[in-house]
Amino acid sequence: MKTAGVIVEYNPFHNGHAYHLQETKNLTAADVTIAVMSGSFLQRGEPALVSKWARTKMALLGGVDLVVELPYAFAVQQASIFANGAISILEALGVQELCFGSESGQIEQFLSLVKLRQTHQDAFDAAVRSFMQQGMSYPKALSEAFAAIQGEHAILDMSKPNNILGFHYVQAIVEQGSSIIPRTVPRLSAQYHDETFASASIASATSIRKHLTANSLSSAAGVIPPSTLIELENYYETYGIFHNWERYFPFLKYKLLTMSPAQLSNIYEVQEGLEHRILSAVKEASSFISFMEALKTKRYTWTRLQRLLVHVLTHTTKEEMRVNTPTYIRLLGMSKKGQSYLSAYKKAASLPLVANIKSASHPLLQLDIKAGSVYYSVLPEPLQSMMLKRDFTQHPIRYDEVAKRFQI
């Protein structure tokens, strides 16, 4: 079977994702599509709108054949670490081609820029250091360094969020010596950070989440597949909430108010004396938004601070995050086709497969368990206890794509 991989968050699965998935199948002629999906917390330092189990269902209903989890240690990270973790898992699963969405839409541009950076690695690193010494944030320094090595005839616009991720996917493939062939498709009209609907049928996940917070579910019906709408309705009806940072802010504030500067400085990504600024600002903050507005500077981006605060919320230390590569593959869901592929390939997989965590033991898995426990903490009882237990006992969700129903 020919396999294609996608790296996703599906927060939530929308029409743009459906287009990307269909284009992936068309471009690669793959028999099986495998998605590496972030779990409870996401790359930009946000809680997922709904649980990974609900998002797995959306993925399977949308046409993915196998869904596996990107561990917390790689999911809530800057682009290069995020990409390295995801590519390692796809390689371990025998994926032959990767397809990602980008503002560019031209894979040759990514391959050329990766080669150019390798050729000018010392100059690039020096430029990044120089720009950061001028007070720029790390992402801005990277963007300026890329512009510097590209000169007047820019190969790729590295100020665009999906181009940035795509570059790191291709770079991870090259650096890991992976046999995966990278491909890209252009994003449709909606941009990653758009907060309003770009058209009647296409919208960014950011705008959809904002819309769902401010309006009824039916208002987003035109930009998400009917299956996603049903899953969102079911989740809200069952749990009474969609997850967002404001729901976790009381927990975060309590956590910070009980920490000393020394304790906070041990949390991953807290550095350069930032612990003092955080502990000072939280005393005056009445909401997550007001807290973030007090913290943000030119040097510390909103996204970096959100990731840092996720690590505070989950009490993830610098020692716990000293990892280089995934040590297991957690299975979240599969179609019948995905199950057939897994049955044929599992003996060749270079990482152990985890069907449920009740009897599994991997150091990185403890971070996933902790993150899941924190994620479900905002649910009312007895639902909170039910979901905590479910994370330990849940086997991969099975979907019969022919009968179009989930198997019990």
254 is in an annotated binding site: no
Look at residues 320, 275, 272 and name the one whose alpha carbon lies nearest to residue 137: 272
75 is in an annotated binding site: no
The dihedral of CA 385, 307, 302, 113: what is its sign? negative
379-383 contacts at long range (C-beta below 8 A, 24 or more positions apart): 379/239, 379/241, 380/240, 383/238, 383/239
Convert the pLDDT of each residue in 354-378 to its tens digit: 998 887 888 889 999 999 999 999 9
168 is in an annotated binding site: no
Q: Which amino acid belongs to residue 99?
A: C
Cα-based angle 170, 173, 179 (whole degrees, multiple of 5)? 125
Q: How far apart, in whole angstroms, are the C-alpha atoms of residue 23 and residue 26?
A: 5
101 is in an annotated binding site: yes
17 is in an annotated binding site: yes
Q: What is the pTM for the complete model shown?
A: 0.93
Q: How far apart, in whole angstroms, are the C-alpha atoms of residue 209 and residue 43?
A: 16
12 is in an annotated binding site: yes
Name residue 317's beta-bridge partners: 267
Contact criterion met (CB below 8 Å) for 83 and 33 = no
Convert the pLDDT of each residue in 45-69 to its tens digit: 999 999 999 999 999 999 999 999 9
Percent of the chain with pLDDT over 70: 96
Domain limits, the chain? 245-313
344 vs 220 pLDDT, higher one: 344
15 is in an annotated binding site: yes
Q: What is the mean pLDDT of residues 335-348?
A: 94
pLDDT level of residue 408 (50, 70, 90 thresholds): low
9 is in an annotated binding site: yes
What DSSP letter does each residue of 188-242 carry, written as one string? -S--TT--S-SSSS---HHHHHHHHHHS-GGGGTTTS-HHHHHHHHHHHHHHS--
Contact criterion met (CB below 8 Å) for 51 and 9 = no
Look at residues 97, 7, 101 and name the one whose alpha carbon lies nearest to residue 59: 7
19 is in an annotated binding site: yes
pLDDT level of residue 195 (50, 70, 90 thresholds): low
155 pLDDT more than 90: no
What is the per-residue pLDDT for 321?
94
234 is in an annotated binding site: no
18 is in an annotated binding site: yes
Convert the pLDDT of each residue in 96-114 to its tens digit: 999 999 999 999 999 999 9
16 is in an annotated binding site: yes
